[in-house]
Amino acid sequence: MESQTVKWKQYFLYLAFIYAILYFLHTNLLLNNRPIRIKKWPQLPLRFRHDGTFKILQVADMHFGSGLLSRCRDVLPSHFHYCSDLNTTRFLKTMIQLEKPDFVAFTGDNIFGPSTTDAAESLLSAFGPVMESGIPWAAVLGNHDQESSMTREELMSFISLMDYSLSQTNPPSKDTNNVKRGMFLDIDGFGNYNLSVYGAPGSHLANSSVLNLFFLDSGDRETVQGVRTYGWIKESQLNWLRSASQELQVQNQDVKYVIKTQPVDASAALAFFHIPIPEVRQLYYQKFVGRFGEGVACSSVNSGVLKTLVSIKDVKAVFIGHDHTNDFCGNLEGIWFCYGGGFGYHGYGRIGLARRARVILAELRKGDKEWMGVERIKTWKRLDDENLSKIDEQVLWELSPSR
């Protein structure tokens, strides 16, 4: 009997000890003198509004450095002495308040590595306004993000853990024999993933993806036959894109059901990456909307991105960055390629040329009683001038009535 009493006392002491440890971990454990906190998630899934719209703010080339210490480039002499990364922060806050986007897409060179010794601090500052807003967002990397204290893999991992971020380091592998820490082994780059936007609340498509957002890592710098060139999207990434597109189109059976009564597009998609593909150069000799302010800086390697996008048939428009004084949209084989235009003040620009952001608006078709699939995709730009001017509004894609 006495032995059993001792055992019960030990058991309760053990439970008390475990409870004390858990309480200590919950209330007192510090990392770098900061209380442990859990990532804040946006309300999911992404979905169209009650009015049948979904608005995306594209932010290209913030080039954030070290905040107040990072001065502006290519601004009027009268502005230079008080201009810094904080102007970029103010512009991002203004755009969020003005346009009230449902989602923000950052298309690379989010930070300018050579201007910061702490990439994590720079990222926290650069993405600070969107995290404060609580709006869901996602990012890809450019060719300058990794030039500080973090590798590209570390950058994407860190970005994926930030508040309200839907970014992913890479898509999960379905092959348990070919997986490492839940990611693809056989895909190049970091930041290849897709996000689904669901139909309007209360509609037949409320639980179906009607718009897919593809994000791809276009790399940074490479050497080809001894010559330095920009990175490019590799075949492994294109294989994933084909597979993901096909799988999403198969899943969208509900959308195809609606097509029987009204024309809708069962597989509308948009793509986001940083470095333009070589074919974008051809747009100089074709009709385009916006400013063609500099030569297209791209890889010397043509990996067949355009051919792949045409073949999968769902991507209606691609949004890129990299060339700051380009902000045009042009059509290549039925797919629109649009520059975001230089957003950040620490990145190069042109004196007298306002920094700018691109807005993308997807609209659903209105049926007899409810919203259906995507009918139209529009875009425009906002300038960081006195009037926050809205320019170059255009329809990128519209569902043909005959479909």
Query: Would you kindly state where each structural domain of the chain is located, as residue ranges?
Result: 54-398
> Residue 403 has what pLDDT?
47
> Residue 267 has what pLDDT?
73
- Say if pTM beats, i.e. exceeds, 0.75: yes
Tokens linked to 403: 């479909």
Tokens linked to 128: 């600070």
119-151 exposure pattern, b = at least 16 Cβ within 10 A, e = fewer: bbebbebbbbbbeebebbbbbbbbbbbbbbebe
- pLDDT < 70 positions in the chain: 1-16, 22-35, 175-185, 253-266, 401-403
| Architecture of the domain spanning 54-398 | 4-Layer Sandwich (3.60)
CA 63 – CA 309 distance, rounded (Å):
28
Alpha helix segments (H runs only) across 328-379: none
106-115 exposure pattern, b = at least 16 Cβ within 10 A, e = fewer: bbbbbbbbeb
217-256 exposure pattern, b = at least 16 Cβ within 10 A, e = fewer: bbbbeeeeeeeebbbbbbeebbebbeebbeebbeebebbe
> Residue 132 has what pLDDT?
97
CA 355 – CA 296 distance, rounded (Å):
19
331-360 exposure pattern, b = at least 16 Cβ within 10 A, e = fewer: bbeebbbbbbbbbbbbbebeeebbbbbbbb
Residue 121 contacts by C-beta under 8 Å, 6 or more apart in sequence?
none
> Residue 23 has what pLDDT?
66
- Bridge-based pairing of strands 390-398 and 371-383 is antiparallel
